Amino acid sequence: MSSAATDTPTRAVPAGRDLTLDLARVSCVVLVVFVHILFTGVGMAADGRLLIERTVEAQSWFVPASWIANIMPLFFVVGGYAARAGWRSAAARGDSADAFVRVRLVRLARPALPLFVFFTVALGVARLLPLDPALVDTIAIGVGSPLWFLAAYMIVQAAAPAMVRLHARFGGWVLVALLAAGVLVDAFRFVVVAGLWGIPSVPPTGY
């Protein structure tokens, strides 16, 4: 056996680290990027104008397929497990909830800041060019809409210490309360105040 083979260091997995969860998170990110790339199609209209359309989303099979193949719940479940493990480690070290949340949010915000700066500059320049404002709006919505996930993920990360405590105290009743709150929020949005925000109302029977 050569000395090079014996001197090769082995990479140890940190204690308590589940590589299956890391694989699930990476797979989710890759699939999310791939699916969003499929959303947008670029072509030429009959009059020669640049046309941007959401071809896949317009297909009849897309909506039922999105309910079956939706990976966002898996993303949040895995993220929640990681947040709980991180909070338990931080609490064992004596870190406060404020310090834990600050570290988690900085980790999410730091790589996103250059992206926001780029989009701000690029879309600002596009507004100054002789381009169709509707086209610029379509592009802005297309590149910006997936970023809703970042805001939602930051909220659940910030709530992690409190939610872990509630789960330890009340168990599955926390999930029941969250489900009830989600139903109430959707019902209030679609049935009660939809008209105020310009959202088409959904009759209670249809809802």
Could you report the per-residue pLDDT of 144-190, keeping only the tens digit for each? 777 888 888 899 889 999 999 999 999 999 999 999 999 998 888 77
Over the range 37-62, which residues count as b (16 or more CB within 10 Å of their CB) and which as e?
eeebeeeeeeeeeeeeeeebeeeeee
For residues 91 and 99, what is the distance between their CA atoms, to the nearest angstrom? Answer: 10
Amino acid letter, 5:
A
Domain ranges of the chain: 18-171, 172-207
CB 39 within 8 A of CB 57: yes
Supply the pTM of this predicted model: 0.68
Could you report the per-residue pLDDT of 79-121, keeping only the tens digit for each? 888 889 889 989 999 999 999 999 999 988 898 889 889 988 9
Mean pLDDT of 24-42: 77
pLDDT for 31 equals: 81
pLDDT for 38 equals: 73
Mean pLDDT of 55-63: 78
Q: How confident is the model at residue 63 (pLDDT cuts 50, 70, 90)?
A: confident
